[in-house]
Amino acid sequence: MSKKVALITGVTGQDGSYLAEFLLEKGYEVHGIKRRASSLNTQRIDHIYQDTHEENVNFFLHYGDLTDTSNLTRILKEVQPDEVYNLGAQSHVAVSFEAPEYTADVDAMGTLRLLEAIRFLGLEKKTRFYQASTSELYGLVQEIPQKETTPFYPRSPYAVAKMYAYWITVNYRESYGMYACNGILFNHESPRRGETFVTRKITRALANISQGLEKCLYLGNMDALRDWGHAKDYVRMQWMMLQQDVADDFVIATGKQIPVREFVRMSAQELGITLRFEGTGVDEVAIVDSITGDNANALKAGDVIVRVDPKYFRPAEVETLLGDPTKAKEVLGWVPEITVEEMCAEMVQSDLQNAKQHALLKKHGFDVSVAIES
Ligand code: NDP
Ligand code: GDR
Query: 67 and 106 in contact (C-beta within 8 Å)?
Result: yes
| pLDDT at 374 (0 to 100) | 61
**Nearest-atom index, ligand 1, CA of 91:** 34
| pLDDT at 368 (0 to 100) | 72
- Report DSSP state, residue 329: I
163 pocket-lining for ligand 2 (C-beta < 6 Å): no
Question: Is the pLDDT confidence value at 42 over 80?
Answer: yes
| pLDDT at 2 (0 to 100) | 87
Report the C-alpha gap between 285 and 190 in whole angstroms: 26
Task: Name 249's Cβ contacts closer than 8 Å, sequence gap at least 6.
Answer: 133, 148, 166, 170, 181, 182, 183, 184
What's the Cα-to-Cα distance from 94 to each of 98, 198, 230, 315, 348, rounded to whole Å?
Answer: 7, 11, 22, 9, 24
Is 0.95 surpassed by the pTM of this model? yes
3-state class (DSSP) for residue 332: helix
> What's the whole-number mean pLDDT along residues 356-370?
88
194 pocket-lining for ligand 1 (C-beta < 6 Å): yes
| pLDDT at 52 (0 to 100) | 84
Ligand 2 test: best mutation among 18, 92, 93, 373, most atoms within 8 Å of CB?
Answer: 93
| pLDDT at 102 (0 to 100) | 98
> What's the whole-number mean pLDDT along residues 160-183?
98
> What's the whole-number mean pLDDT along residues 134-156?
98
* Cβ-based neighbour number of residue 65 at 10 Å: 18
158 is catalytic: yes
Give pLDDT tens digits for 79-92.
Answer: 999 999 999 999 99
Residue 325, preceding peptide bond in cis (omega within 30° of 0): no
Q: Which of 114, 128, 9 has the alpha carbon at shortest distance from 70? A: 114
Average pLDDT value over all residues in the chain: 97
| pLDDT at 38 (0 to 100) | 96
321 pocket-lining for ligand 2 (C-beta < 6 Å): no
Q: Which of 12, 103, 134, 320 is catalytic?
A: 134
Question: Is the pLDDT confidence value at 372 over 70?
Answer: no
188 pocket-lining for ligand 1 (C-beta < 6 Å): yes
Report the C-alpha gap between 202 and 175 in whole angstroms: 44
**48-57, 68-77, 111-120, 207-216: range with lowest mean pLDDT:** 48-57
Task: Name 103's Cβ contacts closer than 8 Å, sequence gap at least 6.
Answer: 90, 95, 96, 157, 158, 161
Question: Is the pLDDT confidence value at 26 over 80?
Answer: yes
134 is catalytic: yes
Q: Which of 28, 85, 158, 179 is catalytic?
A: 158
| pLDDT at 333 (0 to 100) | 96
Domain 5-185 - what CATH class? alpha beta
Q: Which amino acid is at 142?
A: Q
Give pLDDT tens digits for 177-221.
Answer: 999 999 999 999 999 999 999 999 999 999 999 999 999 999 999
> What's the whole-number mean pLDDT along residues 44-72?
95
Query: 13 and 87 in contact (C-beta within 8 Å)?
Result: yes
CA of 150 to the centre of ligand 2 (A): 21
**Nearest-atom index, ligand 1, CA of 107:** 32
> What's the whole-number mean pLDDT along residues 313-329?
98
134 pocket-lining for ligand 1 (C-beta < 6 Å): yes
Domain 198-225+259-316+339-364 - what CATH class? alpha beta
CA of 67 to the centre of ligand 2 (A): 24
pLDDT band at 369 (very low <50, low <70, confident <90, very high): confident
CA of 366 to the centre of ligand 2 (A): 34
- To the nearest 10°, report the CA torsion of 323, 135, 196, 254: 20
pLDDT band at 121 (very low <50, low <70, confident <90, very high): very high
Question: Is the pLDDT confidence value at 29 over 80?
Answer: yes
Question: Is the pLDDT confidence value at 354 over 90?
Answer: yes
136 pocket-lining for ligand 2 (C-beta < 6 Å): yes
Provide ipTM, 2 decimals.
0.99
Question: Is the pLDDT confidence value at 367 over 90?
Answer: no
**Nearest-atom index, ligand 2, CA of 134:** 35
Report the C-alpha gap between 165 and 142 in whole angstroms: 21
Per-domain boundaries in the chain: 5-185, 198-225+259-316+339-364
342 is catalytic: no
| pLDDT at 237 (0 to 100) | 96
As a whole number of Å, the CA-based R_g of the chain is 21
Question: Is the pLDDT confidence value at 132 over 70?
Answer: yes
